[in-house]
Amino acid sequence: MSKLSPSELRSGGRDEITPAPSAANSALHSREPSFTSRNTSEKPGVQGNPFATPVHSANPSMVILPNTHGGEPAYFRSRRIRKENIEKPWLKEGKDRHQKWQTLIPMLGLFVGLSIGAFMVYDGWTSVPEHRYCIVYEDDFSSGQLNEDVWTKEAEVGGYGNGQFEQTTVTEENVYVTDGMLTIKPTLQDESLINQNSVLNLTQMGICSSNVWSNCVAVTNTTNGTIIPPAKSARISTKKGAKIKYGRIEVVAKLPQGDWLWPAIWMLPEENTYGQWPLSGEIDIAESRGNNHTYPLGGNNVISSTLHWGPDLTNDAWWRTYGKTSALMTTFAQSFHTFGLEWSEKYIYMYLDSRLLQVMYNKFGKPLWERGNFPLSDQNGTAFVDPWSQTGNPSTPFDQNFYLVLNVAVGGTNGWFQDGEAGKPWVDASPTAKLDFWKARDRWLPTWTDPTMQVKSVKILQQQGYNGC
């Protein structure tokens, strides 16, 4: 075996050869240009200097590395682009005239879109009517008392047409003002009035607010399961001292928390000008349920606003003028909100916290009798007579004085709480619905963690041009 001379070791082998491609690499070499390589020896078993600098071929992007394992040399092709070969189109004097439109057109479209959006916001804002108002009543309850010249406490046991389970009282057990807050608080009925045969006669007590006997007298009959209302609460109204025909109302309140509680902020007509309910209308500013958010129809995380109108009880067209909204990541029992109403000859709407957040909007365009599409007669075949169109006012029956009502009802048999939902402990059609509710108190009473409706303030405004304003 021959050895390399010292000069050859220093040079790493200087003999340049052009290796002939092997049969296995013939295809590769047929596609690549020929180039030269440096090898340390033609004799087998002698390795070249691994530290020698590879010699560049005629192609500057390709170098040949020594193969220290014998056989053919290793090839390396550089894919790097030389700096002087990089194109710089932005430096060219003659730019593509189409490129500027590729930028200009999207920018122009963005400008037009923003302009249209700004105009729509401006037009919507300026199109909201700004009526003038007179203050009819405004109270923040800082006096510590309920103004008896304005408010009336109602005392009844008849369920107010909804089969409600509470007796409304006039005592401070259920309605009072404390710490600048009007409070309505439902409580349990006296057990002695339910566990034994009893009679509760509000007329004899001189406090009944109704002239209907069934609204003033309730009995407990342990034999047939009839009982006195199993809960007590309050219902107050401004019928005595604050009524409006068109205007605005704002009530800042926090709603109760507790199963089967039914808080409401609403309005009734001062006179039944067009007949009994719902012929003369009803305005529900905000209603809710005290159940939690898992209740299928919405608990205290949902409020609804409604108009009630129709020829009789079974043809109430409330569903045509109904809306609801949800609290965002909270409930209406956790914080105070403004529940508002704006009402004019041409429209009526309810809002939450701001006039821009409308819960229900109704425009008085088409007369309500036509809009209701009511049947020609009632269930007994008696023909319906349209009492509204004769006024020539499309807002009828919502064209008369209405007053404000605040209350917290308990239960009921009118369907507000649906049978079979969320463990409802009574059935609406059952003659012992109240007793069934009472017997389940160990289940629902613990949920009454904060059963009060708390009211910070009430504002009632009369639209200019009516009622002497």
Find the mean pLDDT for residues 156-174.
Answer: 97
The architecture in CATH of the region 134-463 reads Sandwich (2.60)
Closest by alpha carbon to 307, among 371, 221, 375? 371
287 catalytic per annotation: yes
Which pLDDT belongs to residue 122? Answer: 82
Question: Domain boundaries in the chain?
Answer: 1-113, 134-463
Quote the pLDDT of residue 76.
60
pLDDT tens track for 239-298: 999 999 999 999 999 999 999 999 999 999 999 999 999 999 999 999 999 999 999 999
Which tens digit of pLDDT belongs to each residue from 351-409? 999 998 999 999 999 999 999 999 999 999 999 999 999 999 999 999 999 999 999 99
- 86-95 pLDDT, tens digit per residue, is 777 666 665 5
Q: Which of 138, 287, 342, 370 is the catalytic position?
A: 287
Mean pLDDT for the chain overall: 86
- The percent of residues in the chain predicted with pLDDT above 70, rounded, is 80
- 69-84: pLDDT as tens digits: 555 666 566 667 777 7
Name the catalytic one among 282, 345, 370, 421: 282
pLDDT digits (tens, 9 = 90+) for 211-226: 999 999 999 999 999 9
